[in-house]
Structure 1
Amino acid sequence: MRDETVPGGGVDRFWSEVDPLILGGRRVPALIRIRETFGVGIRDGIDLLGERYETLQRERPGDFTVGRDGYWDGFHS
């Protein structure tokens, strides 16, 4: 994602607001923000959410409130 695709502050600012939702297991609110910001459909939004989840798992694994095994439980696409 390029900075110009995120209005009002760039990609880093956007993710700094959405990362806590992802880390807290709040997938649906995170997906809604991703879709609103990037103007994408559900499938692309889920893909972006999954990519960011994997990035955070690599960079901040101890910050998740939900373990990897149960993170996607009940979340069907």
Structure 2
Amino acid sequence: SFCMDVFDAPYAPGVSAPTIMGLDPKKGKRILRSLMNTEKVVCVDFAEVNPQYDIDSRTAKLAGCLAYDIMLNKSK
């Protein structure tokens, strides 16, 4: 599980516990890629997304971008 509330609040406002001084998306993406490169990951889910609080769907778009990156790099 990749909890979206680890990201800094401006990037992921639609979570149950917005984080001050959380990760920026680039750092989160590097961490996720590093985990995927271990080739030990069999399943990934993105948790803690609440559309009710998601300003302009920022959190959903970030989760979608990360999921796309996983699929794109997995096919290489």
Q: Shorter-chain-normalised TM-score: which range?
A: 0.3 to 0.5
Higher relative contact order (CA 8 A, sep 6+): 2
Decide which structure has greater helix share.
1
TM-score, normalization by structure 1 = 0.37
